Every structure is written in C-alpha cells, then in structure tokens.
Structure 1
C-alpha cells in the first residue's frame, strides 16, 4: 500500500504537468490567432496582386496567339511563294529547246512543274488562281514543244522511198533508227502519263502526229505504184484477153506489205501494246485510201471490158486475199476489214463475170447470121477454150467465187449485192473448188456445143456439113483440153465429148448410109440361091450369081451400080471439099470405111461379074474401094 505522502507527491507532479499543458494550449491559441491573422492579410494581399497582375497575363496570352498566327501566315506566304519561285526556275528550262536542255532534263522540269501545279490546286486558295493559270500555260508550252520535238524527230525519217529498189533487191523497207525510236518513245510516254495525271480525255497528240507524218510517207512512197497498176492494166489491143502478171497490182501489193510490216516494227517499240492496232490503222489510213481508189479505178476498167479483163479481177482477188492473210499474221486484224472493203467491189464484178463468161459463147453463136460453107469451126469455140484455159491460172479465187455462187449458180446472173442472203450451197463445207470449176466448164461447153449444133442445123444446107461443123468444133474443144491443165480438171467431160462426136458423126454418115443402101438392096436382087457348089467357104461364084439373075434384075442391078458409083464419087468430092480438123478427117474416114467397105466387099464378091471385068458398072474392086476410102483420111 502506497503511503499518503507519496500519493500527494504524484498528484502534485500531475497537476504541474496539467498546468504546463494548459499554458501551452494558451500559447497555441495565441499563435493560431496570429497565423489566422497572417493568412487573412496574405489573402487580402494576394487578391490585390491578382487584381493587379491579371490584365498583364491576359495580354501576354493574346500576344502569344497573335505571334503564332503571324508565324503561320509567314509560312503560308512562303508556301505560296515557293511554287512561284519554282515557276521562275522551271520556266527557263521549259522555254528553251529540248535538244539544248536535254530531253530527260526537259521532261523532269515538266514533271516538277506538274507536281507544283497539283500542290497549288490542293491548297484551294483564291490567291493561287493566277499562279495556277501561269503554271498551266507553262505546261501547255512545254507539251507543245515536246510535240514539236516528236514531230521533228519523225520528220527526219519520213522522206518517201522508191519501193521498186527494195522489192527488186529483196531488201526490207527502211525503219526508224533505234536512237530516234527511243526519243519518240520517251516523249510519247511522258505525254500519255501527263494526260493520265490530269485526267485529260482523248487520244495522245503524239499518235495523231505519228499517223499523219508516217501515213503521208507511206502514201507518197506507194503513189507511183498505184499509178502504174492502172497504166499497165490498159492493153494496146482492146479485145485481147488479159494476161496474168501484166498489171502492176502484184508489185503494188508486195510493196504495200513490205512497207506496212516495217512500219508496224516502228510502231511497237514507240507505243504501248494496247495502242498498236489503233496506231497502225490510223497510220495506214491514207495509203489504204489510195489503195482502195486504185482498186475502184481498176474495177471500173474491168467492168468496161468484163469478158477480156475479168481475169484481172480474179488476179486481184487472189493477190489481195493472200496479202490480207499475211498482214493479219504479222500485224493483227486491224487492217483486215479495210482491205476486204477495198476489194469487195472487184469481187462482186468477178462473180458477175462468171455468169457473163458462161452466157457469152451461147449468145455469140445465136447472133451468127452465117457459118462457113465448108464446115470449118467458128472462132467462138477457140475463144471459149482459151478463156477456160486462162481461168485455170486462177483456180484459188475462182473456187471461192464459185462456192459463193453454188453449183449451177453461174447459169443465172448474180445481183452483185453483198447484202443478199447467201444460199445453202454457198456454205457447203464439202464443196471442192476444182470440182465446181469442172462442173462450170462442162456446163459452159455443153451450152456452147448445143448452140453450135442448133445454129448448124439452121444455117447449113445438109447433114454432112452440119456433122463436119459440129465435129470440127468438138475437136478443137478436145484438143485444147488435152493440151492444157484442163485435162486434169475436166475428166468428167469425157462421156459428153463422146456423145458430141457421135452426134456429129451420125449426121455426117447419113448420106453415106443412103449410098450404102444401094449395096444392101443389091444383095437381095436375086431370090434364087446360087447353084450348089458355087460357094466354097467364104468365096462366092459371082458368075453363077449373075447367071441366076433375070434380065430385069440385071438391068436393075446395073442401074443401082451406076447410082452408087455416082453418089460415092460425089461424096468423095464433098469430103475433100470440107475443111476438117486433122483428127476429124481421120475419125470420119474410119467411120465411112466401117460403113462402106464391108458392104462393098460383100457386094463385089457377089456381083463383080456383071460387066465381066470391063469396069463399066463395077468401077472399084475391093482394093480400089479400100484405097479410095483410105485416102479420105
């Protein structure tokens, strides 16, 4: 237990501590009041400072914004001035000659100018409109100078050439040198790209320049050959049949092909692939127009002389068709249609001529007012065969034309219209042109022979000369077939040829058969059989036969013999008076011999004793009649 005295000491100590604590609290309160007073004074001072400094700070911010705007304006001015400064720099290059500046540097300047123009347009500032207009004018000037440079580079190589020099020496037509090609390609590419960037519509002007200059170069180079094609087509003898290769159209086509192929080789490295066909068509337009005009003039000439110069039409069709095929294989199909359009009128004329040639022989025969009295062939036959022989040199175009007409289509005149509906025969894929030509030729010859036969019957006085006339014409036909390429083409004409010859032979033999009837009747003048033993094998006892005849029968026999002798001699003379082709004379002599000799030999065996060898009635013995008949050949 704690002593009271100690407890009082502890309470006194704690009391002292509480008093100290209260004293400190009083001091803290005083200090707090002082701090609060200081804060109040500071707040009052701060508000005064704020009120004083606030306007200054606001002005400072405004000045900073203004300064930033000024910097931006200065930057914009610099950006505006930069293209204008660049324009001044590029203008010196663009206004100069590309040759002096260097093409690549010149184009680079144009590219920079074009870029500057694009930047100005993107700013969309009204103040830039004048600068935009000035740069546009500068670009226009530069593009124009590039086009002039393109034209000048081309013009150096557009002097007309003489095609015959290259054709005769088998040289390739001249092309543009590689250095110039590279220059032309660079210019064209730049102009094309510029148009694409500016979204300009239309065709690059370099294409037009190229087509004009090179097109004129080709047209002028080929002009003399176009003129020569017409002059060589005109013949000194109007009625002469056109001879293959006479016209200069073949040389013209060869030159056209050579110069076109070389030009296409120029076009490909200069222009882009998608432009090759169009540039080629534009470049060839002038020379194709000249070619079309030449073919039109030739067509008019052919129409005026269709029966003699239709072969020129066949030749042109063949030449131009082959030209078109070769050009298509080397250059594409761009100029195929213009060439086809150019030759179409001549093709129509050629189709018309096929019917004209078919009808002409028959028409000419029908117009004859007289025929050779000696049975000689008429010139129409040889003319017709000459034309058929000439046609064999043009089987390729003729095959195409005859196929388009269809079998038998030549018998009716074609309309010549290219818009008429084709027949099924025209599209017969199995049609053989050679067979069609053979059918055409056989039909023509059949028509000719029938016309000659009818005309002979109408104008010639007897069957003998009619037969000779027909056979002479058939002999010429047969000979001219045999001695030409027609021999392999007209194999099918053989049966018709035999029938024509047989028809002519029968007409000629008609009078000989009448004379031979005298011999046949003489065999039956005696109704009595010869006495037995008068015949031994084939031999006949003529004396016994004569002896068995009555006086009246003998007189009748003598009269028939006189008639036969007179008619036979007259026929011999007529035979000799006729003009016969060699093969006709030989053929008819054999035919006569086959009719007369067997009958006369039998007759002679039976009745030669009628005049007892005096020759009064029996003028010819068997060897004599044989000799006389042999001399007919």
Structure 2
C-alpha cells in the first residue's frame, strides 16, 4: 500500500505542475491576443496614413517610364541626322581617298538607316529620308564612276595583228580588277536594280558595254581599213587572188577579241546578264564589221567578173568565224550572219551572171581568129571554174540555197531581192555540193560551146575552119579540166559532153575532105565478067588499064588531076590553120584514116595511067603516106 500511495502522490504532483503550466499559457495567450489586437489597430492606422503616398509613387513611376520612352524616341529621331552627317563626310569624298571597302560600308549603313526611317512612318522623318536618299544616289553614282574608271585602266586599244601573227592570247582584265568590278557591280545592282526598267542594262553594265565596246572597235579599226584598202587593185581587170584581202585577219581579230571579252563578262557579271552585256559590248564592233562588208559588197558588185571570188572567200571566212563564236560564247552567230547577208546575196547572183556573161561575151565578138585558133575567152572561162574549186565549201552552200539548176534563170535583180519566192529545190539542204558544182560547171561549158559554135557559123567561112576553131576550144577546155582540181570534180559529168563536141568538130572537119575522097571512087562494072578472086597478089595496074577504053582512061587521069588539086588545097589549108597539138594530131590521124586507104587502092589500080611521068599521079603510096603523116605533126 505504501508504494502505491507513493506513485499516486508523484502523479498528482505532475498533474499539479501541468495545471500550473496551463494556467501560465492561458495567461500568455491572453496577452498575445491583446498584442495582436493592438498591432492590427496600429496597421489600420498606418495604412490609412500611407495609402495616399503609395498612389503618388505609382503615378510617378508611370510618368518616369513615359519620359524614358519619349527620350528614346527623340534619340531615335535624332540618330539618323547624326548618321547622315557622319556618312555624308564619307560619301561626298573621293573613293580613292576613303577606300573602296569603307565607301561601300558607308553606303550600306546609309541604306540601312533609310530603311529604318521608312518603317517609322513619322512625318518628322520625311526630310531625313529625302536627304539619306539623295546621299545614297550620290554614293551609287560614285560607285558607277569608280566602275568606269577601273574599266578604263585596261581599255587602251591594241593591235590584233600581233596576236594573229604570234598566236599569243588576247589581253584580258586582270583577276584583281575583275574581282573589284564584280564587287562594285553587285552593290550597284542592289541599289540601282529596283529602279532600272525591265529589259535595260544596269548603269554599270551600260558603262562596261560603252567603254569595252569602244576599246574593241578601235582595236579592230586598222583591220577594217586594211580590208577596204586591199580590195582595191592596181589592175582593175586582174582576177582576185585568194587570201589577198584582209578579211581573214579581220575575222581572226574579231574572234579573238570577242572570246576574250566573253571571259571578262563571265568574271564580272551574273550568269543571267552575260548574253545582254556581251551583245551590247560587241555591238559597235559588229556595226563597223557590217559596214566593212557592205563596202566590200559594193566593190564586188562593181567588179563581179574579177572579184566574185572575194565574195566566196568572205562567206567561208565569216561563216567559220560565226560557228566558232557560237561554240565558244553561245552568242553573236545571228549578228554575224546578218552582216553577211548582202555578200551572200551578191555571191548568189554571181553564178547566173557568170553564166550569162559567158554567152554575152561570145555574142558580142565582132571577129574570130581566121586561122581557127582558140579565143582567150575560153581560157578565161575555164580559169574562173578552176578558181571556183578553191571555194567549194561556200559555193556548195550557195548552190544548195539556190537549188540545182536555178542559177540558169535567176536574174541579178532577183538575186538581190529579199522577197524572192523560194523553190522546192532551194530546201534541199542535203544535196551534194560537189555534184551541184559539177552541174554548174557543165552548164557553163555547154553554154560556152553552144555560143562559140553559133558565132563561128556567122563569122568564119568554111566548115573546116569552123571545125578547127571549135576543136581548138574544146581541147583548151579538156586540157584545163585535166590539169586542175576540176578533173576529179566535173570530169565524170562534163567529159561525155565535151567528147560529143570533139566528135562533132571532127565530123565537120572531115566533111571538107569528102571532095578529094570522092575523086578516089571509081565505078566498076562487074556484070560483063566475074570479079576475080582476091589472092593477095599485087594488083597489076597495067592490066587493069589495058581493059579500059580511052574515055575511061581520060576519066582516071581527070580523077587524079582533080584529087591532086583538091588534096593540095586542103593540105595547104590544114597547115595554115592554128591548131593545138592535140587537135592537129587527132584531125591529121582522122584525115589519114580517111584518105590513105582510098588513095592506096586507087593508086594501085590506076597509077600506070601516068606511066611514071607524074603528070597526073603526083604522089605514090609512100609519098602520100608521108604527106598524111605530116598532117599530124
């Protein structure tokens, strides 16, 4: 019981302690509540006192923010004005003093400032925008001037003959200057491009085309002058010699300078600008080239018979040049072709002119050689054809455009007309040029021989003289064909026609020898006695004559006498004629083949009628053979 009372007493003591603590806590809580009430009352009093002050502070903060924005706007408005003053000092100065990079940087900054002002839409900025725009124009203009000045540093005219003779490269703009020009052009494109009308070159491109165009034209000026001067000849009747005109060097100079200029354009301008810039740059040189060709065309028309070959050479040279330009640059082919058109039309007309002139020149002859000699016109005509073989390529092109045979009926006025109606033949671009030339040569030779034959009938007396004249001219034609490139080109087609003329002349010549041949024909009556068989034994002239009566013998004597007279006269004429060696040999052999068998037979049968006195029988067989052989020598 005692321990239990002790435990209860201890617990009771703890409870009393807890109750005491609780009472203290309640007392403290009451004090805290009283303090909170006083603090809350104090807070309400402070809030009522500070509220107006806080509102004023907020309004002040808003006012300060507005003031800061106003100051920023004022600074933004005044900033372009400060920039304008700074950039104006640069842009109104010379580029070489400022430096190109710094000058371009100033333009870029000015352009950026102008764009910023344009975005504000403030009325107060209009004046600044106008001033910056004007300043930007000044800077762009200075860049254009700098672009032009850089180009001019490499624009001293050259003498292309040096490059032509030595094979050296044509001068080009250096890579450092090309880079400088490219940079300047890029900035000009940025600032001037939007205001440049569509289809027009930019100011820098115009400056390039003008300066480089003048450089090319002046460099080629001496070659143009040489073309005109070398067309003039000391002897107006001299036929043009291939390569004697300066058109070849002129074309080489154009080709070299245009290709070099194309390289320059590619290094400076953008790809889409190459074509327009190159054409504008070469325009002045092409106009000068076209003017030169027009002057040459006038000269050719005035001297067509001697200088038509210059037209063929020009066509070949210029066509080759235009093809090379097309392959190297992709441009200018059509411009070159347009410049060539007058020459090409004149070359077309030359074919019919040469053909018609050949006929007219023969018809205008008032006399022909009375010894049967050939005339110079035949040689001249063949020389023309020989010279044409050196221009087979341009002639083939011309003949294909005309069509096979159209050169016969094409008057010169039609050839010069650009409104002439083409025929189906003129579209045969696949025609063989060599074959067309062979047909043309055949027509020329046929026209010449027909005209010579017709004229000889009027101006020459006697068929033998006419035949010798025609045979001589045929031989000249044959010889000049065989001794030149005409042999391979026209011999297959022309040869048979010429051979027909040769045979015709031979036949005509032999007609004169029918008279002496007729005297060597005798009439044998075989009805009275059978013809003795041929045994190969010598004929007994005495026996034959014994069988004849005196009247028949007198007839034989008269035949010998008439033959001698006619034969001697023809031999004399034959020797008096001026014959080409081939003609004399051929006609002599034909005469011998005609006379010798007849005379040999007649002499064997009747030579004893003269009884060796040579009163009637002037020639024995060997003597006749010698005379006939002499006709061929």
State if a TM-score over 0.5 links the two structures.
yes
CA contact (8 A) 1:470 1:504 kept: yes
Deviation at 1:577, TM superposition (A): 0.9
How far did residue 95 of structure 1 move?
2.4
Equivalent in the alignment of 2:217: 219
Structure 1 residue 64, shift from structure 2 partner = 4.5
Does the aligned pair in 2 maintain the 1:313–1:346 contact within 8 Å? yes
- 1:315 pairs, out of 303, 313, 321, with 313
Question: Measured at CA, do residues 248 and 70 of structure 1 come closer, stay the same or move farther in structure 2, by a change above 3 Å?
Answer: same
How far does the alpha carbon of each residue in 1:158-213 deviate from its partner, in whole angstroms, 9 at most, with x for none? Answer: 11111112211111111111111111111111111233577876532111111111
Q: Deviations over 1:71-119 (max 9, x none)?
A: 2221111112222222222223222332233322221221121111111
Is 1:460 the equivalent of 2:460? yes
Match of 1:433 in 2: 433
1:240-319 paired onto structure 2 within 5 Å: 240-319=238-317
Give yes or no for contact 2:400–2:429 (8 Å, CA) kept in 1.
Answer: no
1:422-501 aligned within 5 A = 422-491=422-491, 492-501=493-502
Shift in Å at residue 544 of structure 1?
1.2
- 2:567 is matched with 568
Alignment partners' CA distance in 2, 1:72 and 1:312: 85
SS in 2 for 1:546: helix
1:551-576 deviation per Cα after TM superposition (whole angstroms, max 9, x unaligned): 11111111111000000000010001
Show structure 2 runs of 5+ residues with no match: 1-36
Task: Give the Cα separation in 1 of the matches to 2:53 and 2:352.
Answer: 115
**1:506 and 2:507 aligned:** yes
CA deviation map 1:421-455 (0-9, x unaligned): 42221222431001000000001111110111011
Structure 2 residue aligned with 1:140:
137
Q: Which residue number corresponds to residue 192 of structure 2? A: 195
After superposition, residues 226-625 of structure 1 pair within 5 angstroms as: 226-332=224-330, 334-414=331-411, 415-416=414-415, 417-491=417-491, 492-520=493-521, 522=522, 524=524, 536-537=535-536, 539-625=538-624
| Counterparts of 1:118 and 1:184, CA distance in 2 | 26
C-alpha distance 525-367 of structure 1, shift in aligned 2 (>3 A): farther
Counterpart pick for 1:153 among 126, 144, 150: 150
Cα deviation, residue 224, structure 1: 1.0
Judge conservation of contact 2:201–2:277 (CA < 8 Å) in 1: no
Tell me if the contact between 2:92 and 2:138 (Cα under 8 Å) persists in the aligned partners.
yes
Say how many residue pairs are matched: 591
- CA contact 2:140–2:192 (8 Å) conserved in 1: no
Does 613-622 or 290-299 show the bigger shift?
Answer: 613-622
- Cα distance in 1 for residues equivalent to 2:194 and 2:485: 67
The answer as to whether partners of 2:404 and 2:425 remain within 8 angstroms in 1 is: yes
- Return the alpha-carbon distance in structure 2 between the equivalents of residues 618 and 529 of structure 1: 28
Greater displacement, 56-65 / 388-397: 56-65
What's the CA shift for 1:543? 1.3
Assess, with a 3 A threshold, how the Cα gap between structure 1 residues 461 and 526 changes in structure 2: closer, same or farther: farther
Paired residue secondary structure (2:512)? helix
Q: Deviations over 1:192-238 (max 9, x none)?
A: 12335778765321111111111101101111111110110111111
Q: CA 1:57/1:512 → structure 2, altered by over 3 Å: closer, same or farther?
A: same
Bigger mean CA deviation after superposition, 133-142 or 433-442: 133-142
Partner of 2:106: 109
Q: 1:571 to 1:297 in 2, by over 3 A?
A: same
Match of residue 124 from structure 1: 121
2:193 and 2:202 in contact (8 A); partners too: no
Supply the distance in 1 between the matched residues of 2:155 and 2:563 (Cα, whole angstroms): 91
The alpha carbon displacement at 1:317 in A equals: 0.4
Which deviates more, 538-547 or 316-325? Answer: 538-547
Contact 2:117 2:129 (C-alpha < 8 Å) held by counterparts: yes
Tell me the alpha carbon deviations over residues 218-272 of structure 1, each in whole angstroms, 9 at most, x when there is no partner.
Answer: 1011111111101101111111111111111111111111111111111111111
CA RMSD of superposed structures (Å): 2.5
1:84–1:131 contact (8 Å) kept in structure 2: yes
CA offsets 1:451-478 (integer angstroms, 9 cap, x no match): 1101111111110000001101111111
Unaligned runs of at least 5 residues, structure 1: 1-37
Deviations 1:505-553 (A, max 9, x none): 1111111122201112x254887658969x6315322111111111111
TM-score scaled to structure 2, two decimals? 0.89
Shift of 1:56: 7.5
Shift in alpha-carbon separation, 1:92–1:616, aligned structure 2, 3 A: same
Q: Residue 179 of structure 2 aligns with which residue?
A: 182
1:164 corresponds, among 156, 161, 166, to 161
Structure-2 change in CA distance of 1:451 and 1:101 (3 Å) = same
Q: 2:22: which partner in 1?
A: none
Contact residue 262 and residue 329 of structure 2 kept, 8 A: yes
Gap change, CA 1:236 and 1:140, over 3 Å in 2: same
